[in-house]
Amino acid sequence: MNSFIKLSIYLIILIIHGCHKPVGVKTKDCVNKLTSDDKKLFSNIGFFYYKKIMKWDHDISIAIKGDDIRPEDPETVRAIVAELTPLITPLKITLIKNVEKADITIDFTYEITKLDIYGYTKPEFRLFSSAFKKADVFIFPIQKGDYRWRTVQHEMMHAIGFNHNKTYLKDAKFYDTTMNAYVLKSYDKADEDKFMKEHRKYSETDKRMIKLLYSNCIPLGLSKKDFDELIDSN
Ligand SMILES: [Zn+2]
């Protein structure tokens, strides 16, 4: 074998080894303390593409843009950012004007580029660390009022690293692809409006999940497989 091939194989092994993050003692300890519902929910929504932990590893700046910015949209984004700020400490999240410099852009657009959805998020991440590099959020014109609010809130969950929940947990807002947490028996419009107003904020479950993802407990690149083995062994 010539030395170039040897060196290449050595580098590939190094890279593969570098990508695999075994579960550390700290993670074992703090995961042990979670309730079994929280363990299950985090296993469901905490692992993004390639079934790995992907999140921001630096302060996040966020800017809005688009041809369909409605009067209430800046306030919606500001309120959601204010809700997220204490949940992702020590990282900070701030609104900025310069769209070019923003880590997350929220594009309120008339142009529906994907059918049957109210918005979507396109993240970019660093290949080896799995840290987010950028996220482009698109909000389509379909939803109004509190449902538009909820669309932004839902997409922001993707933009900070969450995936859809595959199972139903009623107090987790972020539980399915349709994000419809309105599960009251009555279909009275007034009831629905009231319900949506009262449930604008992230639920306590959502908050625990966000805090967990951004805690030292959960390292970047941790695989779902390793996390699931850990919670199964408990
Ligand atoms: Zn979604």
Query: Residue 9's pLDDT band (boundaries 50, 70, 90)?
Result: low
Q: How many angstroms separate the Cα of 16 from the Cα of each of 19, 21, 128?
A: 5, 10, 9
Q: Residue 105 carries which side chain, given as an amino acid letter?
A: T
Task: Report the separation in Å between the CA atom of 149 and the middle of ligand 1, taken as the mean of its atom positions.
Answer: 14
Distance of CA 28 to the CA centre of its chain: 22
pLDDT digits (tens, 9 = 90+) for 41-69: 899 889 987 789 999 999 999 999 999 99
3-class DSSP state of 63? strand
Cα 158 to ligand 1 centre (Å): 7
Q: Is 145 left (phi over 0), alpha (psi -120 to 50) or beta?
A: left
At which residue do the structure tokens 């997409």 appear?
155
User: Measured in angstroms, how far is the CA atom of residue 9 from the centroid of ligand 1?
Assistant: 39
Give 167 Cα–ligand 1 centroid separation in angstroms: 14
- The full DSSP string for 91-144 is S-EEE-S-GGG-SEEEEE-S---STT-SEEEEEEE-TTT-BEEEEEEEE-TT--
Q: What is the distance in A from the centroid of ligand 1 to the CA of 164?
A: 6
What's the one-letter identity of residue 214? Y
What pLDDT score does 19 carry?
A: 55
Write out pLDDT tens, residues 122-150.
Answer: 999 998 889 999 999 999 998 888 889 98
Q: What is the pLDDT of residue 25?
A: 85
Amino acid 184: pLDDT: 41
Give the chain's end-to-end CA distance (angstroms, integer): 46
Tell me the fold of 20-232. Answer: Collagenase (Catalytic Domain) (3.40.390)
197 pLDDT higher than 90: no
Winning range, highest mean pLDDT, from 16-25, 71-80, 157-166, 183-192: 71-80
The 8-class DSSP code of residue 61 comes to E
Give residue 179's pLDDT: 42
For position 24, what pLDDT does the model report? 83
Q: What is the pTM of this model?
A: 0.83
How many angstroms is it from 177 CA to the middle of ligand 1? 5
Q: Among 80-89, 113-122, 146-155, 174-183, name the one with the lowest average pLDDT.
A: 174-183
User: Domain map of the chain by residue range?
Assistant: 20-232
Distance CA 77, CA 42 (A): 25
